[in-house]
Homo-oligomer: A and B are copies of this chain.
Amino acid sequence: MTDLSRLSLNTATTKNLTLAEAVRVAAEAGLPAVGLWRDRVAEAGLENAARIVRDAGLRVSSLCRGGFLTAADPAEQDRAMESNRAAIVEAATLGTSELVMVVGGLGAASAPGGPALPGGDKDIVAARTRVANRIAELAPFAAEHGVRLVLEPLHPIFAADRAVLSTLGQCLDLATDFPPEQVGVVVDTYHVWWDPALRDQIVRAGREGRIASYQVCDWILPLAEDALLSRGFMGDGYIDFPTITRWVSEAGYSGDVEVEIFNQEIWDAPGAETVATMAKRYTELVQPYL
């Protein structure tokens, strides 16, 4: 029997659809939720986006994404903080308490593809400290809006350019100064499947009440030319979904399961087909273990 009552379509999976189109294919497939990206929300307009989701009878499982907090330059920091405050207001307006945070990499260290910039900042320890300080500044504002900052550990392949938070344990260490309703974590199989400490840290995250989102997609090889797009449907790669799903479930997570896949081929396919495939794979490899 098909039970899609916890399956959420993250709009990054259907990148070529507008927010309204993504909501429609999700609703038509019987999904109860969508995870939204800010770019699609901005295109639709914030109030309009909230109404589209509400009118379709769906809930918003999370908003992606805040973050990019590693800049050392004060003006850049100010811009980042302003953007994050806006994201917090957007999450509240959309009716989700979960704002996913991709904290940023060593952006200033090197021109992508080029040689290191002289004086570029390669101090990853300092970058992490800046992230912790900015989270501390944002948390009270988020709390006022009923929004939780959801730290996302990204696969270490992205440590240089996207996120200096690489493991669930590291995110939980950072979260420890805050109540669980202010700072949580996301377990995204793609980013954390390889981690030898994964089970222990999922248990810990559950015990601390911090699992704010469970996202699923597979690690496929060979890597796509743009490594960011090397994600696949559950079952097409190397990840052991039954095992990780069982761990997340045993840790007490009872929320939505978002499918977030960056993959050019999947983006080029019709949205309804994509949602049908993800529902099928979810039903085979994830839902039975929840």
Contact = CB atoms under 8 A, between A and B. Distances in A.
A122 B196 contact: no
Contacts of A226: 222
The contact size tier of chain A is 35 or more
A115 B196 CA distance: 25
B237 A112 contact: no
A115 B225 CA distance: 18
Secondary structure of the A contact surface, majority rule: loop
B113 A194 contact: no
A1 interface: no
A243 B127 CA distance: 14
A40 interface: no
B227 A225 contact: no
A82 interface: no
Interface stretch (A21-29, A154-162, A204-212): A154-162
A221 B124 contact: no
A130 to B, nearest CB: 14
Contacts of A235: 115-116
A172 to B, nearest CB: 11
Number of copies: 2
A42 to B, nearest CB: 27
B122 A239 contact: yes
A196 B222 contact: no
A110 B160 contact: no
A154 B122 CA distance: 21
A73 interface: no
Interface in A187-245: 193-196, 199, 219-223, 225-227, 235-240, 243
Given A115-B235, A160-B237, 20 more contacts: A113-B221, A113-B222, A115-B236, A116-B238, A122-B239, A122-B240, A123-B240, A123-B243, A124-B193, A125-B199, A125-B243, A156-B156, A156-B157, A156-B194, A160-B194, A160-B221, A169-B196, A223-B223, A223-B227, A227-B227
Rank and list the top 6 A-B pairs by shortest CB-CB distance, nearest first: A159-B194, A160-B238, A170-B196, A156-B194, A122-B240, A157-B157
29 contacts: A110-B220, A110-B237, A116-B235, A116-B236, A116-B237, A116-B238, A122-B238, A122-B239, A123-B240, A124-B193, A124-B194, A124-B240, A125-B243, A128-B196, A157-B157, A159-B193, A159-B194, A159-B238, A160-B194, A160-B219, A161-B221, A166-B194, A166-B195, A166-B196, A167-B196, A170-B196, A222-B226, A225-B225, A227-B227
